[in-house]
Structure 1
Amino acid sequence: MKKVLLALTAVAAMTGSASAADLGARPYVKAPMPAPVANWTGFYVFGGGGGGLSNADQHVQTTVGAVPLTIDQRQGGSGWFGTVGAGYDWQFSGTWVAGVFADGQFGSIRATIQDPIVGITGNQKLETSWAAGVRLGWLVAPNVLSYVNGGYSGAHFGQTNFTTLGGTPAGIHLNSYNRNGWFVGGGVENSLNIFGVSSPGWFMKTEYRSAFYNAKTSNELFDGTNALVGRDIRANSWNQTISTSLVYRFNWTGPVVAKY
């Protein structure tokens, strides 16, 4: 009896081994990967250009004899400019981006300075300016950022040469000067891939900016090298610009995929 049981056990063992050998190896199934996530954190540089409008609220005071005459007026103008800059962004909470930046502008945005009491007028140019500030944005898409910004700004206004209201040179000028102020604005930045262009790291941004500069009291109008007394022009300068820039983001070599 024992011999019979031992024989049956041996047969069962051999049958089980043969069945296991007939089974193929278990196939390896790779875990699904999540969709690529864009990363906006990193440094960037940009350059571009645009157009601007200039407005100035002016208070003109001129002393004729013993009687002071005054007039308040708003003068304006327009022009173009180029811009270059750099910045750094941090992406947080999934779809929010915050950053710091600095840029410079150069060009010719003109505004009129006029003294209708004496009868002189001239064009003043905003020749160069700079800005440093912060921005906060929200990703409307993984590669499209809508943002607002603000900060501090400085500007250089060139020399103004006056003519009579009839256009004849008056032989009077106002020296160039610098003013400081602040700005607010906003815009949209997007990867060029949105247009079907394969260009990792290259972006385009379009931005509106409104800058307000401290008032300047011009009480030194010059006839050649001599200051003319009794003439005083005080102006607040407000400049609005719209620019389009090409942006290169150093960290953007492609979508970032989470590691497992």
Structure 2
Amino acid sequence: MKKLLLALSAVAAITGSANAADLAARPYTKAPPPVAPAYNWTGFYIFGGGGGGIWDADQHTQTTVGAVPLTIDQRQGGDGWFGTVGLGYDWQFNNSWVVGVFADGQFGSLRGSLSDAFNGITGRIKLQDSWAAGVRFGYLVAPNVFSYVNGGYSGSHWSGSTLVDNLSGLPVGLHTDSFNRNGWFVGGGVENSLNIFGLTAPGWFMKTEYRAAYYNKKAVDERFDGTNILFGDSVTFKPLVQTVSTSLVYRFNWTGPVVAKY
């Protein structure tokens, strides 16, 4: 029995020594670093928000018939607030690039002046609504942050005005009708997931965007109140509208991390 116990003890000692030697020879391997999630920006989205804007327009008085200038160009302007809604579709490619198409509308009141310096009369005019359709293109500066530029075609609707005397402020019996102007726009912005603010909101984003819209010139005719007969003079109006907006965005395809890459 003593011999058997001595033999078992010897075997245990030899086995333990071998295991210790094996552990000492085995190299240490660090755990893999945390994996950054991969996000998918391809898909449809909708958005809504609001912002503020300014516009200015080069104006001069001219004859309605023959368009003979009666004054030099003067610049008038206005400002105000608006709401916006829209939708779009994006494609992500080469990992970090995104291109998309979109359409939106803006509804509000950017008020300013329409001035006939030749006759000494002025009217209040406002941009009531506009729409745009275009493309955007940009780079993912982070997996859930998109920086982009955009551009496209835009239309706008401007109110009519009641013309008043520049000195007394009293109506002079003349007005201008509402009108539409079309043109093009350029801009840019940043869109980011709300998760960067510590919120858990899958699919919800926020975007802030600047836009400059250049509209075609319009000869705004002055007309007599009641009869709407032409007075004989018109005011040219060529507006530039600049806006800044912030919107909440919902992306229908956004499901968070979709692929883990080491």
User: 1:57 & 1:238 partners in 2: Cα distance?
Assistant: 9
Identify the residue that residue 102 of structure 2 maps to in structure 1.
101
> 1:89 corresponds to which letter in structure 2?
D
- Measure the CA separation in 1 of the matches of 2:47 and 2:106: 12
1:18-46 deviation per Cα after TM superposition (whole angstroms, max 9, x unaligned): xxxxxxxxxxxxxx795420111110000
- Match of residue 228 from structure 2: 226
Name 1:13's counterpart in structure 2: none
Q: Distance in 1 between matches of 2:224 and 2:142?
A: 56
Secondary structure of the residue aligned to 2:103 is strand
1:146 and 1:181 map into 2 onto residues whose CA distance is 25
Q: Show the counterpart of 2:134.
A: 133
Query: Structure 1 pair 68/252, CA: closer, same or farther in 2 (3 Å)?
Result: closer
Quote the offset at 1:61 in angstroms.
2.1
* Runs of 4+ off more than 6 Å: none
CA distance in 2, matches of 1:223, 1:212: 31
In structure 2, give the amino acid aligned to 1:191.
Answer: S
The residue that corresponds to 2:171 in the other structure is: 169
**1:122 CA drift (Å):** 1.0
SS at match of 1:230: strand
Further displaced range: 217-226 or 184-193: 217-226
Aligned residues: 227
Q: 2: distance between equivalents of 1:68 and 1:57?
A: 13
Superposed displacement of residue 170, structure 1: 2.0
CA contact (8 A) 1:106 1:128 kept: yes
Shift of 1:259: 9.0
Percent identity, aligned pairs only, is 69
For 1:91 and 1:75, locate their aligned partners in 2 and report how far apart those are by CA, in whole Å. 43
Q: Report the AA paired with residue 179 of structure 1.
A: R
Distance 2:223 2:115 in 1: 12
* CA positional deviation for 1:106: 0.4
Q: Residues 4-19 of structure 1: matches in 2 within 5 Å?
A: none
> Do 2:137 and 2:150's aligned partners in 1 also have CA atoms closer than 8 Å?
yes
Q: Structure 2 matches for 1:1-260, cutoff 5 A?
A: 35-61=36-62, 69-165=70-166, 166-257=168-259
Partner Cα distance (2:154, 2:95) in 1: 31
The secondary structure found in structure 2 opposite 1:251 is coil
CA RMSD of aligned residues (A): 2.1
- Tell whether the 8 Å contact from 2:218 to 2:237 is kept in structure 1 after alignment: yes
Gaps of 5+ in 1: 1-31
Name the TM-score, length of structure 2 as normaliser.
0.82
Q: Which stretch has the larger CA shift, 233-242 or 162-171?
A: 162-171
Equivalent AA in structure 2 for residue 82 of structure 1? G
Q: Deviations over 1:73-116 (max 9, x none)?
A: 00011011100000000000111000000001100012210012
Q: Distance in 2 between matches of 1:99 and 1:69?
A: 46
Displacement of 1:220 in angstroms is 4.2
- The structure carrying a bigger strand percent of its residues is 1
* TM-score normalised over the length of structure 1: 0.82
Distance 1:215-1:92 versus aligned 2 partners, 3 A rule: same
8 A Cα contact 2:191 2:205, kept in partner: yes
> For structure 2, which runs of at least 5 residues remain unmatched after alignment?
1-31
How much has 1:62 moved relative to structure 2? 5.2
Contact 1:88 1:100 in 2 (8 A): yes
